[in-house]
Amino acid sequence: MHDIQTREDIELLVNEFYKKVVPDRLIGHFFTRVVHFTWEEHIPVMISFWETVLLGQQSYKGNPMVKHIELDALYPLDPLHFDRWLYLWQETVRQLYAGDKANEAVDRAHSIAKIMKAKIAARHLPG
Ligand code: HEM
């Protein structure tokens, strides 16, 4: 088993991740019913995001925080959704890759999710 080294490695990771996400009972509906995006556009954005995070390519220019605040307004995102997302992400990374970048993919997802969860939870407070 090798480490994550190229955009193609990330492409496989993202595609395999979504094979688990789409039929998932807890979070699949966000991708199939809540948002109306096209996979042809979304997949390359996700690949670029992880290429930027892990391989330093600067190919992603966007704001995931804003996207998820908008998503939460359409259908409330709660901690269980984040836990499920992270579980499936970690499972997919571990199935495919081993090494520093693979560890980083898991760790960075957890730290980004923690920030997203906190910002979204704060928006759910009254007042
Ligand atoms: C509760 C867990 C999550 C759910 C249900 C979820 C769902 C989604 C959905 C439906 C979109 C498409 C939004 C749109 O195009 O309108 C999206 C975009 C995205 N998500 Fe998540 N997400 C979750 C957690 C995360 C986490 C933890 C990360 C990062 C580690 C992440 C990274 C991204 C990125 C980079 C995009 C693309 C934003 C853009 O278009 O610029 N997501 N997510």
Q: What is the pLDDT along the chain (127 residues), one digit of tens a residue?
A: 999 999 999 999 999 999 999 999 999 999 999 999 999 999 999 999 999 999 999 999 999 999 999 999 999 999 999 999 999 999 999 999 999 999 999 999 999 999 999 999 998 888 7
Domain ranges of the chain: 7-124
How remote is the CA of residue 1 from the centroid of ligand 1, in Å? Answer: 27
Check if 71 has its Cβ closer than 6 Å to any atom of ligand 1.
yes
Q: Is 37 in the pocket of ligand 1 (CB under 6 A)?
A: yes
Pocket of ligand 1 contains residue 30 by CB under 6 Å: yes
Which class in CATH covers the domain with range 7-124?
A: mainly alpha
**Best CA proximity match to 68, nearest among 91, 85, 92:** 85
- Its ipTM equals 0.95
pLDDT attached to residue 126:
85
Distance 100 CA to ligand 1 centre (A): 23
Q: What is the DSSP string of 46-99?
A: HHHHHHHHHH--------HHHHHHHHHHHS---HHHHHHHHHHHHHHHHHH--S
